[in-house]
Chains A and B, each alone.
Chain A
Amino acid sequence: QLQLQESGPGLVKPSETLSLNCTVSGGSSSSSSYYWGWIRQPPGKGLEWIGSIYYDGSTYYNPSLRSRVTISVDTSKNQFSLRLYSVTAADTAVYHCARQTYGNYHNWFDPWGQGTLVTVSS
């Protein structure tokens, strides 16, 4: 059964870069059947899609974050990564990684990682 696990610093200073990894186990990040996505959830609030990546490196970003986001995939490590630049307190959230089904009109997320809380504070 596929599992996803986020990892990275839990505290980032304002104006710095948030960097997270998601390790895929029980499956392959090089599968052509899926995208790999990042979704965040500010404390007590709803879900916001950040972006997704395909195994070939094709990326899709939320326009609201596009200028500050890079998502990459390392199929040799079975990992994909998120970098969010110039963070502010508004970027404080639980960050989830998730597998996203590939194909026209099949783009739901299943499963999700447990999530990791990243706090932006000096």
Chain B
Amino acid sequence: EIVMTQSPATLSVSPGERATLSCRASQSVRSNLAWYQQKPGQAPRLLIYGASTRATGIPARFSGSGSGTEFTLTISSLQSEDFAVYYCQQYNNWPPITFGQGTRLEIK
């Protein structure tokens, strides 16, 4: 099973600033990685797939990068609606599909 590890667990950033979230895989997943955003009481929303491709309707301030075992989600200028929990998910080698434990992005 591929273990996904996200860091930090909580990230405090001011509105308008840049946020950088990390995701590490226990073995290479190539570019087969997705990112999701989840707000309280809501379903996760797909942001990024293929490590760097934005899903339909996702603003350009969200960008993904990386391949192999190290991945980054960057939000270039935080808006109030971006404060949420973010998860990464690998789909290179399944079953099982595995998720990271999440990074909570909070307002500083």
- Where the two chains meet, the residues of A that have a C-beta atom closer than 8 Å to any C-beta of B are 37, 46-49, 51-52, 60-64, 96, 98, 105-115
Chain A to chain B contacts (Cβ below 8 Å), 21 pairs: A37-B97, A46-B99, A46-B102, A47-B87, A47-B99, A49-B95, A49-B98, A51-B95, A52-B97, A63-B95, A105-B32, A105-B91, A106-B49, A107-B94, A107-B97, A108-B91, A109-B34, A109-B89, A110-B55, A112-B44, A112-B45
- Those of B24-46 within 8 Å (CB) of chain A: 30, 32, 34, 36, 42-46
B1 within 8 A of A: yes
B1, B43, B89, B101: which contacts A63 (Cβ < 8 A)? B1
* A48–B99 touching, CB < 8 Å: yes
List 9 tightest A-B contacts by C-beta distance, closest first: A107-B91, A112-B43, A110-B46, A108-B34, A49-B97, A47-B99, A62-B96, A108-B49, A46-B101
User: Complex: how many Å from CA A109 to CA B83?
Assistant: 21
- Those of B55-108 within 8 Å (CB) of chain A: 55, 87, 89, 91-92, 94-102
Q: Which residues of A contact B46 (CB under 8 A)?
A: 108-111
User: Complex: how many Å from CA A51 to CA B94?
Assistant: 10
Q: Which residues of A contact B91 (CB under 8 A)?
A: 105-108
Chain B interface residue count, Cβ-Cβ cutoff 8 angstroms: 25
User: Complex: how many Å from CA A61 to CA B96?
Assistant: 7
Q: B102 → chain A, closest Cβ, in Å?
A: 5
Q: A61 → chain B, closest Cβ, in Å?
A: 6
The chain B residue with its CB closest to the CB of A97 is B43
User: Complex: how many Å from CA A108 to CA B94?
Assistant: 12
User: Complex: how many Å from CA A112 to CA B32?
Assistant: 19
* A46–B55 touching, CB < 8 Å: no
User: Complex: how many Å from CA A40 to CA B69?
Assistant: 25
User: Complex: how many Å from CA A50 to CA B17?
Assistant: 36
Q: B20 → chain A, closest Cβ, in Å?
A: 20
Q: Which residues of A contact B98 (CB under 8 A)?
A: 49
* A115–B43 touching, CB < 8 Å: yes
